[in-house]
Structure 1
C-alpha cells in the first residue's frame, strides 16, 4: 500500500510482471516422517524490488501448524507485497517438524531454488520441488501487467451466522483457481470488536486487463452461502464493495498500488 494514496509518477512507478502464489503443499514425507506433521519455520521469496525476504509462510515453534494427509497445505500469511518478476526469483525455505523437545526437532526442508519460467504468463503452474525429506508443490502464475491489491474485509451490518465456518477467497478473471485469504476451519471466525475480519493473507497481484472478485463463504453441514464483490483494477486509490450473506453484509476494501523498482 506504499503508493495507494499517491497519483502515479510515470518515471518512478510501474505496472510490473509479478508471480502470484496460490498455494504450497507438502507431499510424500520420507525417512521416518509420518502424518500428521507439526511444522514450523518459513518459506520466503527474494525478488527485484529490494532483495529482502518476503515471507509466504512463517510459523514459530510454539505455534506450529499441523499438516495431515487430507490437509497438507501450508497456511500462507504472505506475501506482504507483490512478488515482482524481472529476473529469476529466489525461494528460500527452512521447515522443521516439531519433536517432543527442541533438540528432537527434525528438518523437513532446507535450502533455496530459483524460479525463472517467463513463458507461462497465461496459465497456472504446478511445480514439484524435491527437498530433504519431502516434496513441496508450489502453485503459481505469472501476471504480466499487474498492480498490487491489498484486501481488507469488515462486517458493517448484521452479524456472522452462528456456528458457521468462514472462508474468504480472491479470484482473478485471467487465471483459474482461488487464492485463499482466510479459512477458519473448525475455529471461530476472527472478527474484531469493530467488525473487522482478520485475514491470514491480504495481497493479490491483478493484471490491469482482468477483474478481481472477492468472495466470502459461510457454511454449515454442507450448506454454503457465498457473497461476492467485483472490482476493476486501478493504478492507485481504494475501491469498495459489499458481500451480502443475508445475515450480514461485509464491506470489502481493495487498496491499489503500483511498484517502484530499486536498481
Structure 2
C-alpha cells in the first residue's frame, strides 16, 4: 500500500511525480485543461475476422502529446483479448478527458512480446473529432489483414464547479 499525500504543483516535471514502494510504482501526471469533453469508450468490438493468433495486444487512447496516452487495456500474455460472445473487448478503463480543439485517437495494437520488449505487429487507429453537443460516434479500423474492429465513443460535457469561500 502506498500512503502519501501530494500537493498539486503546476509543473511536476516531464516524468510526473513518482510514488513507489517495494510492491509497485505509480507515475502521477497533472494537466490543466482548457475546454474539454468526456469521451466514454462504449465499445471496441471485433466485427470481422479474429485477433491475430498468438499475439499480445493493447487498446489505448492518444491526445496531442506523448503524456496524453492512456492505456485502456493490455493483454500481454499472447492470448486473445477478453471478449464477450458479441466480440466486444472488455476494457479496464473507458473514460478520458479530451480537449475539444484536438482530435482524439483510439488505437488497437497487436504486438509480439519478449520479456519487457514489445514489438508492434499491427495497429489500427480511429480518429474522432470531439463533440461538444454530445452524442455517439463510431469508427472502424483494421488490425492487420485478419481483424476489423468498430469503436464507439459517447461524448458529454464535463461539469466544473467552483467553491467560493466568503470571509
Give 2:7's match in structure 1, choosing from 111, 114, 117. Answer: 114
| Conserved? CA contact 1:159–1:247, under 8 Å | yes
Q: What's 2:99 paired with?
A: 207
* TM-score computed with the length of structure 2 as normaliser: 0.78
For normalisation by structure 1, the TM-score amounts to 0.51
Question: What is the CA deviation profile of residues 162-198 of structure 1, one whole-angstrom value per residue up to 9, with x for unaligned ones?
Answer: 111111110012x224211111011531011110000
Aligned residues: 152
More strand by percentage: 1
Structure of larger gyration radius: 1
Alignment RMSD (CA, Å): 2.7
Tell me, yes or no, if structure 1 residue 239 matches structure 2 residue 130. Answer: no
1:72-83 equivalent positions in 2, closer than 5 A: none
Q: Counterparts in 2 of 1:10-25, with a 5 A limit? A: none
Residue deviations 1:52-103, cap 9 Å, x none? xxxxxxxxxxxxxxxxxxxxxxxxxxxxxxxxxxxxxxxxxxx2xxxxxxxx
Matches within 5 A, 1:147-162: 147-151=37-41, 152-162=43-53
Q: How is 1:1-263 mapped onto 2 (pairs within 5 angstroms)?
A: 95=1, 109-117=2-10, 126-129=16-19, 136-151=26-41, 152-173=43-64, 175-177=65-67, 178-186=69-77, 188=79, 189-220=81-112, 222=119, 224-235=121-132, 236-245=134-143, 246-261=145-160
Give the deviation of 1:239 after TM superposition. 0.8
Unpaired segments of 5 or more residues in structure 1?
1-94, 96-108
